[in-house]
Amino acid sequence: MIFVSGQSDPFEATSMTQPTLRTWGNLALSPTLSHTDSQLALPLPEQENAWDYAIVEGLKFKYTVNEGQFLVGHSKAVTRPFEDVVAGFYEFAGTWFEPESLAFIPFIAPWVLYGWSDKTAYVAPRLSASLAPRDVTASVWVGRTGGTTIRTQIQSFKQQKAVHPRAELIAELDDAIEAAKESNWDGYGGVPTTTEAREGALKFINLLAPDIPDPEITPGSGGEVTFDWYRSTRLIFSVSIADTSRLYYAGLFGENKKLSGTEPLGHVLPDSVRLGISRVLDGIVEERR
Amino acid sequence: MESSKSVADPEEPLVRYLFQGHYRKDLTVKWQAFKPAREDNKTSVYLTRGLDDKAVWSLGADVAAERNQPLHGRADFKNEAVQRERLFVELDSPPDRHANIAGWPSPEDTEQVMLMAQGIADAARMLPVA
């Protein structure tokens, strides 16, 4: 993470200071920015790779300039819909560029907004996105919290040609669906995977944070798609998806501990699912007493 | 509900033949292999008491031919694994030795079905086709 010398991370609740924020239009500016009423746009930070931050309609952005004209930003929203965050990015970056010239470039889980709660101090991976003029072929995207340098990420992203971060898992999904495309594919009357199940599975895949390893994918006999995080037959967590509206989960964590339930399939990975996955990854097992 | 056709002995050896990749490279059986069929909400199995290994495979070949699917392997387990999940095995001949794991929850109770199937899979031993 790169900070302007002397500033604390504006996104860390525990260390956040609350400077007096000035406003310009509907933008609340950090005191490090300077502007005059005659300016139509906020000045860019003078130093490349130096972060600054602002608040737009309740969305906190930190931003910097890399490689000339590129603007990068990182937004953390508190219980705001994904669409609001995207709109906020355009509005925020519109202070420097014409909105028509901007392109939203997704990163990691592109269609998911993770929430951050002031009350619980629970911090989930945040949505990161970048905006760049459309006529620029090179892509840039923001750094994210976690210690990697911006420039390294930019170079890596250019080389990746904007491949979906879960491309291999999606390919595995399609391979599994292909294997289950015939009636009676399992010898016991199994039906082919439905289109709705595939769409739901893709929606679910996009909810998986980068720190979650790829699960096993297995087609279900009823046309659904199932995901397994597996360490042993007694340490397993599974998710079953038949459409885009709901998921079902079940897990075994040792001899006497089980977890099961159902959740809406929305824009955020349910806490219950994250918990189940974590229990498998952490190897938390309840032993027989 | 259980009936006079139910298999009571928890030590009764059972087999579920596998026609698809419902197993892992570490030769464990995936729980999806035990999901009940949509048609009757039951899981087809065979009783193997008294059969040697060769005979169990021969039975599997017959089942594969009947179902028009290549045999990938089999999952061996005991009736106690079924009973532990509060399910039961009921005889369903013909064919000879055929039975069903029955008593599953309603298909709408998806997560309970998943849990039970996971429990049975935990007790099963997977043998791939040679």
Rounded to a whole number, what is the distance in Å from the CA of B47 to chain A's nearest CA? 17
Residues of B within 8 A of A218 (CB-CB) are 21-22, 30, 32
Task: Calculate Rg over the CA atoms of chain A.
Answer: 22
Query: Distance between CA atoms of B90 and B104, rounded to whole angstroms?
Result: 12
Query: Distance between CA atoms of A48 and A31, rounded to whole angstroms?
Result: 18
pLDDT in tens, A114-124: 222 223 322 23
Burial A13-23, CB ≥16 within 10 A → b, else e? eeeeeeeeeee
Q: At what angle do helices A167-179 and A195-205 cross, to 10 degrees?
A: 160
pLDDT in tens, B46-94: 999 999 999 999 999 999 999 889 999 999 999 999 999 999 999 999 9
Residues of A within 8 A of B114 (CB-CB) are 238, 240, 248-250, 260
pLDDT at B41: 96
- Residue A179's φ and ψ, nearest 5 degrees, are -70, -20
pLDDT at A208: 85
pLDDT at B130: 77
pLDDT at A53: 63
Rounded to a whole number, what is the distance in Å from the CA of A176 to chain B's nearest CA? 10
Structure tokens given for A79:
């219980």
- Residue A87's φ and ψ, nearest 5 degrees, are -60, -35
Nearest CB partner across the interface for B111, out of A188, A216, A248: A248
Chain A residue with the nearest C-alpha to that of B44: A188
Rounded to a whole number, what is the distance in Å from the CA of B123 to chain A's nearest CA? 8
Nearest CB partner across the interface for B114, out of A184, A232, A238: A238
Question: To probe the interface with A, which of B115, B120, B125, B129 has the most A CB atoms within 10 Å?
Answer: B115
pLDDT at B20: 81
pLDDT at A113: 28
Q: Is ipTM > 0.90 here? A: yes
Residues of A within 8 A of B20 (CB-CB) are 179-180, 185-187, 190
Helices assigned H by DSSP within A45-188? 82-93, 150-160, 167-179
pLDDT in tens, B91-108: 999 999 999 999 999 999
Query: Distance between CA atoms of A232 and A16, rounded to whole angstroms?
Result: 42
pLDDT at B4: 59
pLDDT at B57: 97
pLDDT in tens, A198-239: 999 998 988 888 788 999 999 999 999 999 999 999 999 999
pLDDT at B1: 59
Does residue B100 contact residue B47 with C-beta atoms inside 8 Å?
Answer: no
Rounded to a whole number, what is the distance in Å from the CA of B3 to chain A's nearest CA? 24
Q: Position B43: which residue type?
A: T
Residues of B within 8 A of A187 (CB-CB) are 17, 19-20, 64, 67-69
Nearest CB partner across the interface for A191, out of B17, B38, B64: B38
pLDDT at A210: 76
Using the Cβ of B122 and the Cβ atoms of chain A, whether some distance falls under 8 Å is answered with yes
Using the Cβ of B118 and the Cβ atoms of chain A, whether some distance falls under 8 Å is answered with yes
CB-based contact B111 A249, cutoff 8 Å: yes
Nearest CB partner across the interface for A258, out of B29, B67, B115: B115
Please list the ranges in chain A whose pLDDT falls under 70: 1-165, 284-289
pLDDT at B29: 95
**Cα–Cα distances in Å, from B85 out to A2, B49, B74?**
54, 21, 20
Query: Distance between CA atoms of A93 and A107, rounded to whole angstroms?
Result: 17
pLDDT at A83: 55
Rounded to a whole number, what is the distance in Å from the CA of A237 to chain B's nearest CA? 9
pLDDT in tens, B2-17: 655 899 999 999 999 9
Structure tokens given for A113:
């907004």
CB-based contact B44 A190, cutoff 8 Å: no
Q: Position A227: which residue type?
A: F
